[in-house]
Structure 1
Amino acid sequence: MPIANIPETYLQNDKAIPDLLLYDFKMNTDLVKSKVHLSMNMFSFLQVGKKQVHFAGNSVAVNKDQSLLLKKGNWLWTELLENEPTYYCKLFFFSDKKLKDFLEKHAQNPIVLSNEIPYFIISNDVYITTYLNSLTTISKAPAIFFENLLALKFDELMLYLLQKYGSQFEQYLKSLIADESSTFKKIVESKMHANLKLGEIAFLCNMSLSTFKRHFVKEYKITPGKWLQEKKLEAAKEILEKGKLKSSDIYLDFGYNNLSNFSLAFKNKFGYSPRNINSKT
């Protein structure tokens, strides 16, 4: 899967990336799954369809009733049509410079960097709907006015979200320009049950697949495939110990094609068959 460099791919004639950029993204395909390198923070105002995104230690899914503010970095995202013929999302990119300028003017609270979530969910209320209509209107303005109008609209949106979400939103904005990065283990372990391929997890770690595998063995002293199998078996054991489900109920959920293979792997790991688990607890 090729990596899409966004917003660079939306610019024509190799133009320099502006501090603020507005882009209407539309598609007619039923399902698009993309690897994305996002070089700017971005508002994703979903108008039609559904969107799911994975980033380092987190993932989130939204529909047209919600929008996202996404931190720059590497993402995996999936865009899906619903009952409409066209998927539509209005994207609003902004630079660190614009964000720092805004915070210098309007931030009120001290920085508290306890929240590392790389996205912020926004409810699409009446204001957001009206605001998006206004963005469509100014996009038709002459170029000489558009840049100044867009700067005003950026501040307007930020001020509204500060008023609506308060210090929670302010701390999130500050986290976007803080010098923090997720550790390798945190990313790997958060994606253990996300049904992602190793290459996709490697991408979220900003590594090639070969580099990811070498680093994984260095950190865990085991290959990724074997480590993942063991973690899945441990999770299966916890479920079976609760006594509500049997092996036949869960083996498919843990990646096994048949009950026999699951039982054999379980016995090799723990020394006894899953059907004997009650006598071992």
Structure 2
Amino acid sequence: MITDYKKHDLYGKTLIQKIELAPPFKFEFPITQQACFLYVKEGEAEYQIDGEEIEVTANYSLLLNCMNSGKQVRNSKSNSNCEIVIVTFYPEILKKIYERELPKLLQKPKNAISNKSSEKINSDFLIQKYIEGLLFYFKNPSLISEDILVLKLKEIILLLSQTQNSESIQLILSQLFSPAAYTFKQVIEANLFSQLTIEELAQQNNLSVSSFKREFAKIYRDTPANYIKMKKLEKAAELLQVSDKRITEIAFACGFNDLANFTKSFTSRYNVSPTNYRQQLNNSQQL
């Protein structure tokens, strides 16, 4: 359960977020076409990738690439609250703030042979101090400016380049600008919230529609239409909880091109309309 949520935007996109969660919790953070640095300030969280469960405790962090949309951090074991800070990397913003040349960390490594998608980053004193600086601005939002956000974005890039994980981090972040040859599953997850048709998704994987559906069923044990629809609704439920966006904006952000269809699908899935779902959440947090 989310007990507190704050964010700051840069050039119209969410750059940094602070989320406080009470266990048991599940926080889904779709990041299609982006990457993010997720830092656990207090408590602990779990993240699963390729069947492996990664535990991230206080002062440790994760770097996740743009192929991880729909992933989530969760905790059903601990009794303590969790506080996480997320910095999101958008290729268009990075290109804008580094006008002349991207730093080495964002450039494709020579002899790169991996499309690595996540890296757990060990506790680092300088990164801890960086997070403390971000928390200061969350406590004093009136001091935030566009220039400060640009500086904080450049600062985390510099700090990540100096960690012992820098080679793996470069592999991940460089994919924002030089995409690797992605697997079937990565292509699906990258386009979960797009407007692509089943035919277009099949083309993305160089498969016929029939072959695509067989491969999809083998991996996800579901039909493409049903699986993608459920993921879109899960994302919508998350956005209704953590954002103040209008219902129409959320519907389009989650890949629905018709508000009536979204409302009907959401009500069928959660047994309550999007509007009432948000109201129930607000009421429960006020108790």
- The answer on 1:96 being equivalent to 2:91 is yes
State the TM-score, normalizing by the size of structure 2.
0.54
Percent identity, aligned pairs only, is 15
Shift of 1:162: 0.9
Q: Which has the higher contact order (CA 8 A, sep 6+)?
A: 2
Q: Cα–Cα, structure 1 residues 78 and 135, in superposed 2: closer, same or farther, change >3 Å?
A: closer
The 1:135–1:80 alpha-carbon spacing in structure 2 relative to 1, beyond 3 Å, is same
Paired with 1:223 and 1:163, the residues of 2 have a C-alpha distance of 40
| Cα distance per residue 1:103-122 (max 9 Å; x no partner) | 92532876434220122321
Partner of 2:54: 61
Contiguous gaps of at least 5 residues in structure 1: 1-8, 189-200, 229-281
Match in the other structure for 1:126: 125
Pick the aligned partner of 1:51 from 40, 46, 50.
Answer: 46
Structure 2 residue identity aligned to 1:80: N
Deviation at 1:20, TM superposition (A): 5.8
The answer as to 2:169 corresponding to 1:172 is: no
**Secondary structure of 1:154's aligned partner:** helix
CA distance in structure 2 between the aligned counterparts of 1:41 and 1:223, rounded to whole angstroms: 25
Partners of 1:226 and 1:140 in 2: CA distance = 44
Quote the residue 1:71 is aligned against.
65
Number of aligned residues: 200
Contact 2:63 2:169 in 1 (8 A): no
CA shift for structure 1 position 222: 8.1
SS of 1:51's equivalent in the other structure is strand
What TM-score do you get using the length of structure 1 for normalisation? 0.54
Give the distance between the partners of 1:67 and 1:122, measured in 2 at CA: 5
Structure 2 alignment gaps of length 5 or more: 222-287
Q: Which residue of 2 aligns with 1:153?
A: 152
Specify the alignment match of 2:24 in structure 1.
30
Q: Distance in 1 between matches of 2:24 and 2:18?
A: 18
Judge conservation of contact 1:51–1:79 (CA < 8 Å) in 2: yes
Check 1:30–1:17 CA distance in 2 against 1; reply closer, same or farther (3 A cut).
Answer: farther
Q: Is the 8 A contact 1:22 1:93 kept in 2?
A: yes
Per-residue deviation, 1:128: 2.0
Secondary structure of 1:174's match? Answer: helix
1:215-244 deviation per Cα after TM superposition (whole angstroms, max 9, x unaligned): 78515968946998xxxxxxxxxxxxxxxx
- Tell me how large the CA RMSD over aligned residues is: 4.2
* Inter-partner Cα distance in structure 1 for 2:126 and 2:11: 28
Which structure has the larger Rg?
Answer: 1
Secondary structure at the counterpart of residue 21 of structure 1: strand
